[in-house]
Amino acid sequence: MARRRMVYEGKAKILYEGPEPGTLIQFFKDDTTAGNGEKHELIEGKGVLNNRLSEHFMTGLASIGVPTHFIKRLNMREQLVRAVEMIPLEVVVRNVAAGSMSKRLGIEEGTQLPRPIIEFYLKNDDLNDPIVSEEHIIAFGWATQQDLDDMVSLGLRVNDFMSGMMMGVGIKLIDFKIEIGRAFEGDFQRLIVADEISPDSCRLWDVETGQKLDKDVFRRDLGNLSEAYTEVAKRLGVMPRQNGSNDGPKLVH
Ligand SMILES: Nc1ncnc2c1ncn2[C@@H]1O[C@H](COP(=O)(O)OP(=O)(O)OP(=O)(O)O)[C@@H](O)[C@H]1O
Ligand SMILES: [Mg+2]
């Protein structure tokens, strides 16, 4: 088979040209990084779990009408996605104070917020992805006011869907990050959820024990990351089966 053309290699994923124009193949690596790459390890099987989990969340979102880039999973580590023009922002939605928000504002981790709070961060590794205001975004042309409205609306829909899905398996969605892209349809364009949704980009706490089941396990050296992600996958019934098929009764082992 001819070698596929690599389009981009990031810290956690590789993008290859897809089989059709306007498509990409997203390959999930085992590389795990924190602090903008300062801490870096290979965690065996993490890419496989994130490929499955992102598929699960994105197909769920599509089923309630939230547009995403996901087309289909190709194999253990790869999924076919729609190529989009990425908006250079990370959209963070928070339900409970944690991480950088707690640090910056002195709000104790675990404090329930009065309503979901949305933040925007500029995707720029050289600047360490700084938080930016809507004023900055409009003034510097990273997105339009209409884009911002659409991003807030997408963020809140993803939040409600993911919160409910996680609560159903005894997990509290503390916060998460999504990346959004512009998909062109003839003369029209719309914003769709791209990149990945996985425990790399969410904070997930067990409802009963408060145990962390997300990338903070790695960031803060709290234990075995792949065990935490496997627990999330098992609870959601998305553990990969031996033959790689996702149909039929779920095998829990
Ligand atoms: N559907 C898509 N079309 C085009 N680009 C995408 C799509 N989905 C995700 N991307 C981009 O692909 C890259 C995925 O790689 P990865 O997440 O490993 O990058 P990264 O190391 O986090 O770096 P960065 O996200 O800052 O570029 C990201 O840049 C992401 O914005
Ligand atoms: Mg990324």
In the chain the domains, ranked by start, together with CATH numbers, are: 6-83+225-236 (3.30.200.20), 85-206 (3.30.470.20)
Mutate to test the pocket of ligand 1, among 9, 14, 15 (most ligand atoms within 8 A of CB): 15
Ligand 1: does its nearest atom lie under 6 Å from the Cβ of 12?
yes
Residue 162 has pLDDT above 80, yes or no: yes
Q: What atom in ligand 1 is closest to the CA of residue 12?
A: 18
Q: What is the mean pLDDT of residues 181-210?
A: 97
Q: What is the mean pLDDT of residues 167-191?
A: 97
- Which has the higher per-residue pLDDT, 245 or 46? 46
Ligand 1: does its nearest atom lie under 6 Å from the Cβ of 177?
no
For residue 239, the model assigns a pLDDT of 78
Ligand 1: does its nearest atom lie under 6 Å from the Cβ of 179?
yes
Residue 240 has pLDDT above 80, yes or no: no
Ligand 1, atom 27: nearest CA belongs to which residue? 10
Which string of DSSP letters, residue by residue, matches 138-195?
HHTTSS-HHHHHHHHHHHHHHHHHHHHHHHTTTEEEEEEEEEEEEEEETTEEEEEEES
**What percent of the chain is modeled with pLDDT above 70?**
94
Q: What atom in ligand 1 is closest to the CA of residue 84?
A: 3
Ligand 1: does its nearest atom lie under 6 Å from the Cβ of 125?
yes
**Does the pTM exceed 0.85?**
yes
Distance (Å) from CA 96 to ligand 1 centroid:
26
The residues, ordered by sequence, that sit 6+ positions from 140 with a Cβ below 8 Å of its Cβ are none
**What percent of the chain is modeled with pLDDT above 90?**
92
CA 175 – CA 221 distance, rounded (Å): 20
Residue 214 has pLDDT above 80, yes or no: yes
Distance (Å) from CA 196 to ligand 2 centroid:
8
Ligand 1: does its nearest atom lie under 6 Å from the Cβ of 10?
yes
Ligand 1: does its nearest atom lie under 6 Å from the Cβ of 83?
yes
Q: What is the mean pLDDT of residues 168-181?
A: 98
Task: Estimate the crossing angle of helix 145-167 against helix 46-63, to 10 degrees.
Answer: 110
Distance (Å) from CA 178 to ligand 2 centroid:
9
Ligand 1: does its nearest atom lie under 6 Å from the Cβ of 71?
no
pLDDT band for 68, please (50, 70, 90 cuts). Answer: very high
| Segment among 44-58, 122-136, 236-250 with least mean pLDDT | 236-250
pLDDT band for 3, please (50, 70, 90 cuts). Answer: confident
Q: What is the mean pLDDT of residues 26-37?
A: 96
Q: What atom in ligand 1 is closest to the CA of residue 31?
A: 18
pLDDT averaged over every residue in the chain: 95
For residue 220, the model assigns a pLDDT of 97
pLDDT band for 250, please (50, 70, 90 cuts). Answer: low
